[in-house]
Each structure stands twice: as C-alpha cells, then as structure tokens.
Amino acid sequence: MSDVPPRPEPFTARTDPSALDDLRSRLRATRWPDAPADAGWSLGADLGYLRELVAYWADGFDWPAREAELARLPRFRVRLGGLGIHFVHARAVAPAGPVLPLVLGHGWPDSFWRYTKVIPLLTDPGAYGGDPADAFDVVVPDMPGYGHSDRPTGPPLDSIAVAGLWAELMDVLGYERFGAAGGDIGSHVSRYLALDHPDRVVAVHRMDGGLPVFTGDPADLTPEERAWMEDAAAWGAAEGAYAAVHRTKPQTAAVGLNDSPAALAAWIVEKLRAWSDCDGDVERAFTRDEILTNVTLYWLTGTIGSSMRMYTANGAIPRAQLARRVEVPSGFSLFPGDLVRPPRAWLERTTNLTRLTEPARGGHFAPFEEPGLYAEELRAFFRPYRTATTG
C-alpha cells in the first residue's frame, strides 16, 4: 500500500465533437408525448416550454463556449477513497486579514455549477463592493456520482461518507480548520462535517434544516414545529414523487433519463422552476444557457442515475444519526422561494444556532439565483470565526 499522499492534478474537460453530434441527433428525434390542453406545469414539465428549450438546445446552444467559461475556474481532480473527485479550488485574492477556507456543498439536480457565479464574490469581495477582509479560499467539490467526479461502482455513498471525503480533501489541500456551507444534500453533508469533525469545522452555514426527523415526544414540540412537520408531509405528498423514485427505483428512471436528453431536461427543469424564486417563470431565475449548462453537464457525464442513487443511500441512514444535534456554531439563511422552511424553534432544538436570516429574494438555488445576496450571507455569518482557523 502506497504512503504517497493524494495529489490534486489540474483538470480541464474537453467534449468530443461526436458526443455533441449524438446529443443533437437525439434532441431532433425526440418522440414527444401528448398533453391535455392547457395543462401547463400542473402535471409536470410544460410540453410547450420544453419543446422550445429542446429546439434551442439542438440548434442554438453553444456548449463549447459554456465549457470554455467553466474552464476559467481553477479545477482539479484528486483520488480519495478510491474515487476520482473533481473540485474547484479558488484562493482568496488580495486578502486583508485571516483567510477562511470554505468548502461548499451542492445538491440535486446540480453539481459545482450551483456555485459558479458566487465563487469570485467570495474569493475577491473587494472587487465587488465588499470588504477584502471577508475573502475566502473556496473549495467546491462534485459529490461522487455527480458532475466530473467518479461514479461509485459499488453501493452509493451517503452524506456521512461524503462528509468524510470532504474532510480528507481539506486535509490534502492543507486546511487544518475550515468552514462548511451548503444546501439540499450539501446541507446534509455540511451537517455531518460539523457532527463528525467538530475539531476542524469552525462553523457551518446551511440553507435548510432538512426534512424533519423527531424521535421524542410530539407533545414537546412547539406549535410552529408541529405545523412545519405537517407542511413537510403535505409537500412530500404533493411534490415528493421524484424523491420516492430516486430512493426506491432509481435504475428504472435512469434508463429513460440517460437515453433521452429531452426526458433529462424535463426531469431537471421542472425542479429548477418549482424550487426557485421565479414566480412560475423559470427564466426569471435562469437564462436558457444557464439551464442548459446544468443539464448538459448531466448529459455528457452520464451521471443522472448515479446522482439519484445517493437518495437510496441517504434513505438508509439510521434515524439516530438524523437526530444528532450539531454543537458547532450554526447559521441558516432561509430564502423565500425554497421548499420547506423550518421555524427557529426547530433550528434551536437541532443545532447550536448563532444566526438566522430570511433574505428578501432567492430560492433553493440561491447561490446561482442571487449570488450577491448569498455571498453577503456567508461573509456576515463567518466573520466572527475567521481567527479560529490556521489553514
């Protein structure tokens, strides 16, 4: 067994033109379903909108230009836990004080794409009207089975295992102590970083409290907590079919989604619309190029199946793990367009809550929808913890 430590190597993705030719052929040959008149988005993806998006994807979208934009980020790959992990590592620009290393966790249906707009605001705040003293070293990994990270060939990894990989990644990068932040599955990964590595995580910032798991006496809950749990159950009944499929039968869905780019777009775009602060118009939150950059990353990497399988792994996490209280200082930014927003009482029950804000705009993908607001949320929350790092 080698004692040589893992060594990050620079990474640049280069798409074979034949892959784009195949993509366009599939898009043009889409076998469209019928839809009830005036169904709109009520039954899932709006067929009329999707037809327009697919037509643009086939004949107007410039993937090589988007790929070149992504290549401007400092991207690397390193082998951890037997898997090749892709990540962005952007260092602070002209900092005016202690630099805080920060690992950002994405969720589904995205990848490092979620943070591409906010990275420069965090590494070089002075260039965007902020205080240079708030500069971060930013690390944004693709979870295993997402983006340009390897797909596990065995059982999928859960959020606990991914948190362990991120702790190892930060060690490889020379960061003894650091902050963690994220949303969606990235919120869970950040939570387990704080739970399992409290000596290294100085503070943790999250955009959600996860779905509620309570093992105590329901009579001990506040009325607000009980109402939140009822809302979460109602949301699951109305909107949670995708998660049930991911958790129980991901391979069945993966056959169609990995074969039809139109189906993949439908599966992802419906969530971009439903979970963003866009008032029903997805292109108020994302341009078509931005939408298709995210979807094309899934298509070219063939990761829709592996990304869904992480729901299977997380569904098997023991309830005792889900009920653990985070003692590391915790902050939350609850954006108005996000899914099921927890009350303060729940966050105080489950974490060492030190800051809770409700920004005026933004949804589930706030780092992409509202990068300026999100950057300021992170700057403000982590400001007191900068002197606690040695990285």
CA–CA distance, 329 with 347 (Å, rounded to integer): 12
Please answer whether residues 161 and 169 qualify as being in contact, where contact means their C-beta atoms are separated by less than 8 angstroms: no
Q: Could you say which of 137, 184, 208, 338 is catalytic? A: 184
CA–CA distance, 121 with 306 (Å, rounded to integer): 31
Q: What is the mean pLDDT of each run of 10 residues along the chain (391 residues)?
A: 81 97 98 96 97 98 98 98 98 92 98 98 96 97 98 96 98 98 98 98 96 85 93 92 96 98 98 97 98 98 98 96 96 95 96 98 98 98 84 41
CA–CA distance, 210 with 226 (Å, rounded to integer): 15
Give buried/exposed letters for 5-25 (b at 16+ CB in 10 A, else e). Answer: eeebeebeeeeeeeebeebbe
Active site residue 364: yes
Angle between helices 261-275 and 17-28 (to 10 degrees): 80
Task: Give the bridge partners for 83, in sequence order.
Answer: 80
Question: Pairing relation of β-strands 178-182 and 201-206?
Answer: parallel
CA–CA distance, 328 with 326 (Å, rounded to integer): 6
Look at residue 1 in the predicted model and tell me its pLDDT. Answer: 44
CA–CA distance, 148 with 112 (Å, rounded to integer): 9
Active site residue 311: yes
Per the structure block, which two tokens stand in for 98? 């202690």
Q: Could you say which of 311, 338, 374, 385 is catalytic? A: 311
Q: 66-388 belongs to which homologous superfamily?
A: Alpha/Beta hydrolase fold, catalytic domain (3.40.50.1820)
Look at residue 214 in the predicted model and tell me its pLDDT. Answer: 85
Domain segments of the chain as ranges: 66-388
Q: Could you say which of 137, 364, 374, 385 is catalytic? A: 364
What strand order describes the sheet that includes 9-10? 9-10, 75-80, 83-90, 136-141, 100-105, 178-182, 201-206, 326-333, 351-357
Look at residue 388 in the predicted model and tell me its pLDDT. Answer: 66
What is the SS3 string spanning the chain?
CCCCCCCCEECCCCCCHHHHHHHHHHHHCCCCCCCCCCCCCCCCCCHHHHHHHHHHHHHCCCHHHHHHHHHCCCEEEEEECCEEEEEEEECCCCCCCCCEEEEEECCCCCCHHHHCCCHHHHHCHHHHCCCHHHCEEEEEECCCCCCCCCCCCCCCCCHHHHHHHHHHHHHHCCCCCEEEEECCHHHHHHHHHHHHCCCCEEEEEECCCCCCCCCCCHHHCCHHHHHHHHHHHHHHHHHCHHHHHHHHCHHHHHHHHHHCHHHHHHHHHHHHHHHCCCCCCHHHCCCHHHHHHHHHHHHHHCCHHHHHHHHHHHHCCCHHHHCCCEEEEEEEECCCECCCCCCHHHHHHHEEEEEEECCCCCECCHHHHCHHHHHHHHHHHHHHHHHHCCC
Please answer whether residues 299 and 88 qualify as being in contact, where contact means their C-beta atoms are separated by less than 8 angstroms: no
Q: Is the peptide bond before 109 cis (omega within 30 degrees of 0)?
A: yes
Q: What is the pTM of this model?
A: 0.96
CA–CA distance, 119 with 88 (Å, rounded to integer): 9
Look at residue 2 in the predicted model and tell me its pLDDT. Answer: 55
